[in-house]
Amino acid sequence: MEMCTSPGDKLQTDAIQYVYSTDGGNSFIYTPPVHTFVTASTSYPAGSVFDQPQLSGDTFRTLDVPTITVDAKSRVWIAYSQRVMGPTPGTYGSRIMLTTLPSGFKARTAPYMVDRSSPLANYGHQFMPTLSFAFGKIMVAWLDSRNDNKESILACATGNCTDLSQLTSQLIPIPGSTVATPSSVFTANMSDPNSGIRHTLDVFGALIDPTDGPATAPSLQISQYPFWVSPNKSNRAGLFQSSESAHVRSGHSSFCWGSH
């Protein structure tokens, strides 16, 4: 039986703590921190924990919660979100980090970014991860803001499409968005901007084969929504905004979220 926490006490440095029990939870054995974060400040330095305070009426208070799972070989996997610096001045981001502890070992692998599809050169926050193990695979999913202030359309890439099946999904800025100035959108905290355009979050995930040991994986967008076809715009369709809750099944893992 294992547990992991992120204390965040004023008298204690933020860290991912790990304890385990060998007697069914009657007692727990303390181990050194899995990872100790850089001390957070108002500048939100790289390496600090993703922890968003409610600074004003436009922001919301949220903590990133670590997640844990165990594979068939009793290897323990822990994922959490850690802040990184954005690729351009004035921008911020965060990435899902992963670390493992093989059965019978006391030393953990060095934490690493799990998503190889979103390097530090990309914009956006990744936070609130979840881990699961089933049918020999590790599934990690998280909330992701890489497509912030953008909308998805179906458009003709060649200019001479004759059938809807020839259209491809493309991301374009939402009308009125200031995403052309990244520092106005990809800020340290997610808040409603002055322009009134709300932030965009998607569910992303990655599938890992634990037999490969600690490894990165390409991410895929899990959240999917239907498109509508506009009769007034040739070779173009827009994202349909649904008020229903949605769910997706990917392989042997299921995810649920609310959609607008």
pLDDT digit string, tens, across residues 162-188: 888 888 888 888 888 888 899 888 888
Distance CA 38, CA 13 (A): 8
The pLDDT, as a whole number, for residue 196 is: 59
In this structure, of 70-79, 220-229, 234-243, the range with the lowest mean pLDDT score is 234-243
The pLDDT, as a whole number, for residue 164 is: 80
Domain of 116? 2-258
The pLDDT, as a whole number, for residue 151 is: 83
* Residue 1 pLDDT grade (very low, low, confident, very high; cuts 50, 70, 90): very low
Residue 238: alpha-carbon gap to chain centroid: 25
Q: What share of the chain in percent tops pLDDT 70?
A: 72
The pLDDT, as a whole number, for residue 103 is: 73
Segment 74-101 mean pLDDT: 90
Say how many domains are in the chain: 1
In this structure, of 23-27, 68-72, 165-169, 231-235, the range with the lowest mean pLDDT score is 231-235
Comparing CA positions, the residue from 67, 93, 62 lying closest to residue 80 is 67
Distance CA 79, CA 4 (A): 10
Specify burial of residue 22 (Cβ count, 10 A radius: 0-12, 13-18, 19+).
exposed
Distance CA 20, CA 79 (A): 17
* Residue 114 pLDDT grade (very low, low, confident, very high; cuts 50, 70, 90): very high
Specify burial of residue 80 (Cβ count, 10 A radius: 0-12, 13-18, 19+).
buried
Report whether 243 contacts 260 (CB < 8 A): yes
